[in-house]
Amino acid sequence: MSIDLRGLSAKELGTLIEKARQQQTKLAKRTPIAAIRSRITKFAKAEGYTIEELFGTAGKAPAARGRKAAAKSAPRAGRKLGKVAPKYRNPANPKETWTGRGKQPRWLAAHTAKGKKLEDFLINKKK
């Protein structure tokens, strides 16, 4: 957070200083986080639970896991397909390949639109 102090009047600076002091006092009165964690852990153990059971994983808050953890646990729709070797290669850029699954890449669509055949781009051409 960055505040441009040069643009503030004396009254605005005073208000800002007072708000900062109030926030500092409020934070100083809070119980240290380690003590709170200890209390929560003791309470969970007293009730017969572990932190892992309650929050999923130890050391990570639920907010820190975010959507990635939720996405990993959710089952994916459809069947899983294994990795497939590429079948088609761009002659202009050999690093660009396509397995033949999914939507055609732009380079291949452009060539086929110009009248070339899909077989012209096969990596292992059958003779």
Q: What is the pLDDT of residues 55-96, one digit of tens each?
A: 876 555 545 555 555 555 556 677 777 888 999 999 999 999
What pLDDT sits at residue 72?
57
Asked if residue 108 lies in contact with residue 90, where contact means CB atoms within 8 angstroms, the answer is yes
CA-CA-CA-CA torsion sign (95, 100, 101, 103): positive
The Cβ-side half-sphere exposure at 105, using a 13 Å CA radius, reads 15
What lies within 8 Å, CB to CB, of 52 at 6+ separation is 58
Alpha carbon of residue 64 to chain centroid: 10
Domain boundaries, the chain: 9-60, 88-121
What pLDDT sits at residue 96?
93
**What are the φ/ψ torsions at residue 89 (nearest 5 degrees)?**
-130, 140
What pLDDT sits at residue 84?
87
Q: 120 is written with which tokens?
A: 């012209």
d(Cα 95, Cα 106) in Å, to the nearest integer?
14
d(Cα 125, Cα 127) in Å, to the nearest integer?
6
The whole-chain average pLDDT of the chain stands at 83
The proportion of the chain whose per-residue pLDDT surpasses 70, expressed as a percent, equals 81
What lies within 8 Å, CB to CB, of 68 at 6+ separation is none
